[in-house]
Amino acid sequence: MDRIAWSELEHNYGDAADIPQHLRACADQDAAAAGDALGEVYNLLYHQGGWICPAASAALPFLLDLACGTARHHRHEIVELIGRLAREATTVERRFLDAGWQPALDTARPRILALLDDPDPRVRREATLLVADGIRHPDAVRALRRRWEVETDRVTRWDLVLALGVVCARQPADEPLRAALLPLLTHDDLQIRLAAVHALTGSEPGAAVSHVDTLVRAVLHDDAAGWQESAWIGGNRSTIIHSTGALMRPDPVAATAYTIGISRGGDTDQLVATMDEAGRVLTEWRTVTGAILPFLADHLDHAASEVRYRAAYLLACLGTEATAFADQLATLAADSALRDSRKQVTVGDAAVWALARQHDPRCLPGLIERLTSRRLGFDTAASHFGRDAFVLWQPGIDEVLIPLHEHTEILIGAVATRLAAARDDKALASSLCRVIEQWGPSAEAALPAVAPLLETGDKHLFGTAARALGGIGPAGAAFAGTLRRRSGEPDAAWALWRTGADLELGKDMLVRHVVEHRGQHHGIRLLADLGSEAASCTDLLRQVMHAGDDWARVEAAHTLWRVSGDPGGPAAVLTDVARPLAEGTGLPVRLAAMRYLAAIGTTIELATGIAQAVLDNPRRIAYFGGWRAFTEDEDLRTAAARLLVPRQGRADGCP
């Protein structure tokens, strides 16, 4: 080790002079000290992946020394690190792969393959993952098949099946390997059957569909707890449930059958996992709601608060599709049992939200109570999660309240009270200002609570407060002085125009902002309200419409239509941006384009074709995950359906 010029090599945090001391410490007799050292090595050499650094290539033989026996503790974790590096090396671009890595790996291959015969089954399991997915060489396949013939540890045998499945997916022409996996579908060990389905799905994506009953039996069996020791699956008891469910998610019928099947598991943990699986399936497929709804409703009165919360939460996600269970939700709205003590979220919070999603007035007492007490029960700011994530996270209070504009008269007092008390909570104050803006003139009672926020030095909070004034309209004209002082900011200029406090100054400053910041879509969006008064910007809007980024193009197209009344050019641009929606590819900007097309009421054949494809798609179309997948899909389908309504049947007041 000392013969290597480590200081001339690089790791994630600079030169690698510190690597030797950490590698030596990994062999410490004290387990805690060795674990800390391994954590350092992990961070320095791998961190979050993305490249293979020169220090990793140099450290590989010494990591193998530790894995093969010089380490007294954590040997399987050392093999895991080697595996992560080896697998990362197969995916990164060549420019991020150290030139010394592959030669080092080739030299190390015999020692790595020998780890499949290590006395410790934990090491052998990690070795199956490393060898199958990191050592892409014929010797690796032979070593895995040889080990299968002699392996006696049950969990390691399961992992070997998964390892062979990865190789089979990578080498689909290897018929003998596939032929060796097929008989395992009827193996005496139910978990081997489950592993075989996982393995074969890699090369045959629909393989799981015909084995739903077997998979349900396997994940419900007590032996399934053994998967927690797997290097491939790991996690907790629910991990094997979800990883198996993912195999069937591309097929709505199989996915629903699996979800209903695993709901027969009786304990609370099993039901929680089933609820999560139901959420994942519902997020993917809008056509399975009817089959899963009864399962959710049946658990609204379960003894465990976590189960009740999840049932109510998923019914909230489904919105008006769950109206048949409104009476049960109304009863549950008073349920004060906590499901999240850290964030102080209760079962009742989910039930109140579910009623709000249905526009059921029985949500109003619960919302007023939360707005006027210390515990809000909802997020103070919006949260967003990736499409693949199903996270049970309460929506922002603004996202709950904005759709309830028909109940503004009842709710506005509580909103104003909370806003007045939220001056130091910028996120909450901004959220409530957005509610007031969207509720418009009917939210006039909140003006005294909005006014102090206009004096804030926080640009974002000032902007939301100014837009709240603009949303209220003429009643906000009393605050013209403050708006004039900051009229260079687009939100203030827009508010001057909307309130009528200073029409000319508002128009001139907003136009100037758009001209000076021609690609900024926020200002362009505000300009749309000026209509024909912004005619001087038509040439600029046309330029942005054809040359900006997608958000700027969409807002410029909509604004140009509002300004000129001519739908031709704007509709063509909006259709171009919305086009991928026909294939189910959702982005927020595409949803905005579809909403604007619906407002225009275009008769462009391609646009109506996109709308029809959206409505025909059995999947939910959305960009974000969690509950947003439901609301984004709803909004998109609403816009698509509106676009298909004949123009003469519309009465929306648009030019």
571 part of a folded domain: yes
In sequence order, which residues have a C-beta less than 8 Å from that of residue 570 and are 6 or more positions away?
545, 557, 558, 560, 561, 596, 600
Answer whether residue 649 shows pLDDT above 70. no
Mean pLDDT of all residues in 549-573: 95
Q: Quick one: 10 exposed, middle or buried, by C-beta within 10 A (0-12, 13-18, 19+)?
A: middle
Mean pLDDT of the chain: 94
Nearest in space to 24 (alpha carbons), one of 49, 8, 6, 12: 6
Give tens-digit pLDDT for 456-507.
Answer: 889 999 999 999 999 999 999 998 899 999 999 999 999 999 999 999 999 9
Tell me which residue range forms the domain holding 567. 546-649
609 part of a folded domain: yes
Contact 332, 351 (CB under 8 A): yes
Nearest in space to 165 (alpha carbons), one of 194, 139, 188: 194
410 part of a folded domain: no
534 part of a folded domain: no
Answer whether residue 653 shows pLDDT above 70. no
613 part of a folded domain: yes
pTM of structure: 0.90
Mean pLDDT of all residues in 520-539: 94
Answer whether residue 385 shows pLDDT above 50. yes
Q: How far apart are CA 318 and CA 354, in angstroms?
A: 8
Mean pLDDT of all residues in 91-105: 96
pLDDT for the residue numbered 646: 63
pLDDT for the residue numbered 655: 39
Q: How far apart are CA 453 and CA 447, in angstroms?
A: 10
Element (H, E) at 340: strand 338-340
40 part of a folded domain: no
Token pair recorded at residue 164:
């062979």
Question: How many residues in the chain?
Answer: 655
Mean pLDDT of all residues in 520-546: 94
Nearest in space to 471 (alpha carbons), one of 492, 499, 452, 445: 499
575 part of a folded domain: yes
Mean pLDDT of all residues in 580-609: 92
73 part of a folded domain: no
Q: 3-state SS string over 209-252?
A: HHHHHHHHHHHHCHHHHHHHHCCCCCCCHHHHHHHHHHHHCCCH
State how many domains the chain has.
Answer: 1
Q: Which residue has the higher pLDDT, 604 or 572?
A: 572
Token pair recorded at residue 490:
């687009």
Answer whether residue 3 shows pLDDT above 80. yes
Answer whether residue 652 shows pLDDT above 70. no
Rounded to 10°, the helix 237-248/190-201 angle is: 50
Answer whether residue 302 shows pLDDT above 70. yes
Q: How far apart are CA 224 and CA 242, in angstroms?
A: 12
Residue 577 half-sphere exposure toward CB, CA atoms < 13 A: 30
Q: Which residues pair with 97 in a beta bridge?
A: 52
Nearest in space to 615 (alpha carbons), one of 287, 292, 326, 349: 287
Give tens-digit pLDDT for 327-382.
Answer: 999 999 999 999 876 778 999 999 999 999 999 999 999 999 999 999 999 999 88
In sequence order, which residues have a C-beta less than 8 Å from that of residue 90 and are 6 or more positions away?
133, 134, 136
pLDDT > 90: percent of the chain: 88
pLDDT > 70: percent of the chain: 98
Cβ neighbours, 10 Å, residue 269: 15
